[in-house]
Structure 1
């Protein structure tokens, strides 16, 4: 069947806007989440690709172009968004958050040169899917999400009969398309887009003429899809480089840089390696951890490139403007090296989920040991359900911690699943992101982690626990608190686990 024509899609667009605006009055946010969760989850798609033993190919781009056409847009329309495109293994979400925060401060202090409307698209979310699509530094409201969701849902249904692929896009692709629909409808003129997986074949890579592109720190992750070496992964990530924008990156492991440079040259641009300025210190940025300095430096350079491309008359040294540093200091990015006290417990939340990022988290936690080492109970809550070797991940975390001292950091360890509540359900907005296609027995991962801990970090056996749900893990934490004068809890290994903990704590606060 021939690909849907732009003229036909425009016809449906004009028709559906009126009908969708009426129909969304009867449709709720909960309806939208139910529809969203009916789509093929990322986990199922990744499992299918692993089983086939193939790396994603151009078919994904062909399908995304058709979906975009079906909702009424051409790829050239995305150029109106002035895209900042960010790929990488570690830190790409934090880099996006820094960038958005800097733009927000520029809006306050220099409204003439600032973007009028800042969009940001990231993944995954912690509490609500609305977090993925932000306008001017804030998640879209449930009302805005619902309105645009059903506009797009209806357009896809109305154009299915003329489409090569009549099915709706999978979960992540749908949200990518939705972000673009929201941004184009709301007049966004600076869109910060985080790549999902890889870069070359990622659904976000329909962007033809970004203003700025950047690859953050690289490591081994999603090797079944992206390759087993840093060089192969670098090739995939650098697929976002385009001739319309300089190719930025940070300091990388040696084998990555030649590949990034080659890919930049192939795309008709040049590679620029960004180092943190000497005068930029960890105390000057709002996200903890020395590893955030390279993310902050990339964000500074991306903003600098953006401003000079969109406002050529801007001073050459704008990167030194106080608004830039205010943006770095005032950034908000929950679940990343986040420490706070809740209900009398000192918590540390970090969603690190690769060996390199967990090692960095461990080192950061060790640098903060004075804040928690005297706690009578120090509890680790850990899970990583989707990686092949979760034991390697927890070993990396402890390696990072012990690089700055050999004291035993934890008195208790709880290995949890990502299932939110004990009735075996997820919070509806966490259902798809936590979908598990693992065919191993229930609690296999948790039992493997507990067994390794008993053998390698000896302590009382009743201090090592397995929690079938996040809710039960939190009950274990509060039972430990009841027996202790003061308690410190570190939640790490997965952003999905971190998000589940936030949801359970939020629910408890209202009971």
Structure 2
């Protein structure tokens, strides 16, 4: 079975293209081909018959989809959920009744789609790219498994996204909008909102959340043109959870939960399963809503894991705070969550040990660290949280290969970490500009560096490691050599990095 799965991963990896996805002609051509692929796989009618909830946005798409799925699953419906990206294993993208699809079913549906597309594709119509194929696979899985509801998260944008072959969803949702993938979606919120609103379909109701005025204006215009009833979902009042907490941590999740409630209730109404007026849900939540919202789970979003690799005396002194934030807005949200979590941890531990906050970071080179770092640093500083060190590492995961839970970086591969050195330079400049007095000596900074010059490049406030395992090793050794400290490591900037850390941390 493992060998068969690796063969499927190799086949998937062959679909990764190096062509720029920001090229409009290329993007248009790829999207237009999706309809041809759908025909080849005989998925036109199944997609049209599927009772779909389609969700786009900049931040919180995955969280909103997970909340929505959990609510409807707790009503007893057979659910399908398609999200991206995966953190460790590609099967995470396809959930049936809240669980990742099993290997046996994945392989069955994968090769069914692969063989039919391979037989029909040619030089004039090449095989779909990776995300396009995964979207087709999701539709095939959910159609054959006869799910009652399919919750589909947009991959990128909306208008030309592979998932937008959906022509008749039951309801659509737009999560908070911000600046992300500007090289593809546009440099203004108006342009970005226009792309996201591309999932609106004539006469199909849609919900969004409070948006910047310029973005909301575009959403309303697009809705009006298509006779779409667009409503704004209110943030969930936490008092409605009967003393429980949301399954996903962070204050921002109450916005996503409020949207999920409206999407779920509208789906229930439009499919004839409920007569409850959505307005009534602002004062009382039925039990399936409460259970769904409080048990929903999604890896890599405001997730806290204590590393158990250290000896017993140090156990629990290395804690990772994982959040896949990678836009300026989400970086601020992440910083708020991390700061609050650190404070709560201090209260629980009753200050038995000194805590030090470390940043473990990487991001794609299309991101601008001059926009990301200040939002993170300023938000944390406002709440009394300051990073002792920032560690920059290249990803273990390869962008040219789809990995699985057993995947690791091939031995002997030479890694280019020039981008991480750039991140380090920006970080050091920002820190030096912010600090008017010398930093006091800290146990974290007194740990000896590795002798191998190619393993670490150290500056006053940061270090670049040639690999993530080396950075994790340094963190563990720091804890072992300083048993009086507690390291709280914020891992952010890239969901790929989050997945790599999850593979290495001993829980």
- Tell me how far 1:55 sits from its aligned partner: 7.0
Q: Structure 2: which 5+ residue stretches go unaligned?
A: 309-315, 410-414, 433-438, 440-444, 446-458
Task: Report 1:444-483 matches (<5 A).
Answer: 444-457=418-431, 461=459, 464-483=462-481
Q: State yes or no: 1:191 paired with 2:150.
A: yes
Partners of 1:37 and 1:431 within 8 A in 2:
no
The TM-score, its normalising length taken from structure 2, stands at: 0.84
Q: State yes or no: 1:412 paired with 2:420.
A: no
Partners of 1:208 and 1:242 within 8 A in 2:
yes
2:164 corresponds to: 205
- Tell me how far 1:27 sits from its aligned partner: 7.0
2:29 corresponds to: 59
Q: State yes or no: 1:70 paired with 2:70.
A: no
Distance in 1, matches of 2:26 and 2:10, equals 28
- Count of residues paired in the alignment: 455
Against the structure 1 CA distance between its residues 26 and 123, is the aligned structure 2 distance closer, same or farther, given a 3 Å change threshold?
Answer: closer
- Tell me how far 1:97 sits from its aligned partner: 0.7
Distance in 2, matches of 1:297 and 1:106, equals 18
1:111 corresponds to: none
Against the structure 1 CA distance between its residues 306 and 313, is the aligned structure 2 distance closer, same or farther, given a 3 Å change threshold?
Answer: closer
Partners of 1:335 and 1:495 within 8 A in 2:
yes
- Tell me how far 1:199 sits from its aligned partner: 0.3
- Tell me how far 1:164 sits from its aligned partner: 4.7
- Tell me how far 1:37 sits from its aligned partner: 0.7
Task: Report 1:256-335 matches (<5 A).
Answer: 256-278=215-237, 279-280=239-240, 284-311=245-272, 314-316=275-277, 319=281, 320-335=285-300
CA displacement 1:301-324 (0-9 Å, x = unmatched): 000000011125534367421210
Name the Cα RMSD after superposition: 2.7
Match of 2:71 among 102, 120, 123: 102
Equivalent residue of 1:428, what SS?
coil
Q: State yes or no: 1:380 paired with 2:359.
A: yes
Task: Report 1:59-458 matches (<5 A).
Answer: 59-74=29-44, 76-107=45-76, 115=77, 117-160=78-121, 164-165=124-125, 167-278=126-237, 279-280=239-240, 284-311=245-272, 314-316=275-277, 319=281, 320-343=285-308, 344=316, 345-372=318-345, 375-403=354-382, 405=383, 407-420=384-397, 428-429=403-404, 442-457=416-431
Equivalent residue of 1:155, what SS?
helix
Against the structure 1 CA distance between its residues 105 and 26, is the aligned structure 2 distance closer, same or farther, given a 3 Å change threshold?
Answer: closer
Partners of 2:420 and 2:464 within 8 A in 1:
yes
Distance in 1, matches of 2:400 and 2:36, equals 35
- Tell me how far 1:408 sits from its aligned partner: 4.7
CA displacement 1:303-349 (0-9 Å, x = unmatched): 00000111255343674212101111111111111123231222211
Distance in 2, matches of 1:84 and 1:93, equals 13
Distance in 1, matches of 2:386 and 2:482, equals 16
Distance in 2, matches of 1:26 and 1:473, equals 30
2:5 corresponds to: 29
Equivalent residue of 2:404, what SS?
helix
CA displacement 1:353-396 (0-9 Å, x = unmatched): 10100011112222233245654432210111243312421222
Equivalent residue of 1:272, what SS?
strand
1:488 corresponds to: 488
CA displacement 1:454-503 (0-9 Å, x = unmatched): 33336554662112222222112212222222221111111110001011
Against the structure 1 CA distance between its residues 158 and 452, is the aligned structure 2 distance closer, same or farther, given a 3 Å change threshold?
Answer: closer
Partners of 2:373 and 2:427 within 8 A in 1:
no
1:499 corresponds to: 499
Q: Structure 1: which 5+ residue stretches go unaligned?
A: 1-24, 108-114, 435-440
Distance in 2, matches of 1:151 and 1:288, equals 38
Partners of 2:16 and 2:401 within 8 A in 1:
no
Distance in 2, matches of 1:328 and 1:357, equals 21
Against the structure 1 CA distance between its residues 451 and 408, is the aligned structure 2 distance closer, same or farther, given a 3 Å change threshold?
Answer: farther
Distance in 1, matches of 2:400 and 2:222, equals 44
CA displacement 1:421-451 (0-9 Å, x = unmatched): 9xx997833899x9xxxxxx93222112222
